Amino acid sequence: MKKFLIGITIVISAFIFNSVTEAAQVDQLSEEELDYLYNNLNFNEKKIEAMPLMDLKALVEGQAEIVLDFDEYYNVEEPNDAEIQPLALTKSDLNLWGNVYKFNDSDVSGYTKFMAMSTFRWLKTPVWNLSDKIAIGLPTGIGIFYKTSNGNISGFSSYTAIFDKSNDKLLSYTDQYNVPAPGNYNINNGVASTHDLKLSLKPNQVNGGYVSQYFYIPNANTGKGRKANVQFEYGHRTVAGSVGLSFGVGGLGVGITQHYRTEILPYAEEFNY
């Protein structure tokens, strides 16, 4: 069985609102919901705090199962103003994790429901007050489609927030994104998220964020040990400017633009569908 890979990347229009301290996610879930998340989906308190409550509840209600899981640490070496250094990656400074979930209960007849999600957590304060981007690359050759509403892709969620690095609690949202902005997504290639990092943080605070997208595959195409690929990318601009997007043709998809001042942290994996 062939494996299909398409670079799907995400940028969204945002509305910014006043930061409001949020109640802990674990306090808003029932014992039964927590039991399912902990014992069936390998959640810990850090991952529960990072995922929006509506998505946590959707996983439980849909009796979801894990078909892909990763958890990586990176080092992003940011050059100073005087000299642009080559970039190097080691296991520290930025934590990026993600999953693909398969639902046993779908809201679209004849299709199996999935969700791809990724979360980042900075372990230090970035040097530059810039916007980072997250990309999720999904296959289109297996009949994936996205629900739409009012001319936009729906089933999408994204936020940027401040976390307490001592206990992983979400302290406040700084940006929240509702739908992908027209012109920054392609219905055939996918979606992408933008995250505005904050520099004015207290010593115990770090930047973090989240993006997820629901998608559907025809039941006729699922099962029988079939596999596909997914690629997650985190793009960080190390000096002035912004992380760019490349809109591919001929099945190349959407991806973060290669640039010597942009650090791209990729993670590719396969999943059963």
Going by C-beta distance under 8 Å and a sequence separation of 6 or more, which residues neighbour residue 172?
A: 19, 20, 21, 22, 161, 162
Highest mean pLDDT among 6-10, 35-39, 87-91, 128-132: 35-39
**pLDDT beyond 90 at 119:** yes
Pairwise pLDDT comparison (17 vs 72), residue with the higher score = 72
- Residue 249: what pLDDT? 41
Which residue type occupies 234? Y
* pTM (two decimals): 0.81
Which residue type occupies 84? I
Q: List the single range of 58-72, 150-164, 193-207, 242-256 with lowest mean pLDDT.
A: 242-256
For 58-89, what is each residue's pLDDT tens digit?
A: 999 999 999 999 998 876 655 443 333 334 43
- Residue 254: what pLDDT? 45
Classify strands 94-102 and 111-122 as parallel, antiparallel or unpaired: antiparallel
Going by C-beta distance under 8 Å and a sequence separation of 6 or more, which residues neighbour residue 122?
A: 93, 94, 95, 197, 206, 207, 208
- Residue 237: what pLDDT? 63
For 205-234, what is each residue's pLDDT tens digit?
A: 999 999 999 999 999 888 777 888 887 888
User: CA-to-CA distance for 112 and 143, rounded, in angstroms?
Assistant: 11
- Residue 122: what pLDDT? 87
